[in-house]
Amino acid sequence: MNSAIRSSLALVAAACGLVLPALSAAQGTDPIFLRERAVCDGIQQDRSACLREAGAARFEASRGGLTSASPMNYEQNALARCGLQPPADRADCEARVRGTGMTSVEGSVLGGGVIRETVTPLPMPIQ
């Protein structure tokens, strides 16, 4: 291995050695992070994945990259996705998002997803 590569690897290893302990020390004293870690013990998700996501969310929050989402933001996001549907399907998509008409909702995020179904009765064709 060439000496330039070896010295680059040594610098990367040294940087990781300095950053990782500082990051974990900062997370270890943060009450929000500690509360998020405690949640990982009582959910139906792989604990290591939950802890990884809690750490990633804490890191992103420290950079100012997270915003709080309200239910209104979720609905606006879903309605914006309805705009990607063909024009003939757009009204049905919006009805499913809003839960209007004959729309049923079942499932959960932990269960793998929420399924929204709207039944639209059509008249029988006359023969």
Domain spans of the chain, in order of start: 3-62, 71-118
Distance separating alpha carbons of residues 67 and 40, to the nearest angstrom: 21
**What pLDDT, on the 0 to 100 scale, is given for residue 84?**
94
**What pLDDT, on the 0 to 100 scale, is given for residue 26?**
47
Buried b (16+ CB within 10 A) or exposed e, 16-25: eeeeeeeeee
Buried b (16+ CB within 10 A) or exposed e, 71-81: eeeeeeeeeee
**What pLDDT, on the 0 to 100 scale, is given for residue 15?**
47
**What pLDDT, on the 0 to 100 scale, is given for residue 92?**
86
* Weakly modelled stretches of the chain, pLDDT under 70: 1-29, 68-72
**What pLDDT, on the 0 to 100 scale, is given for residue 7?**
54
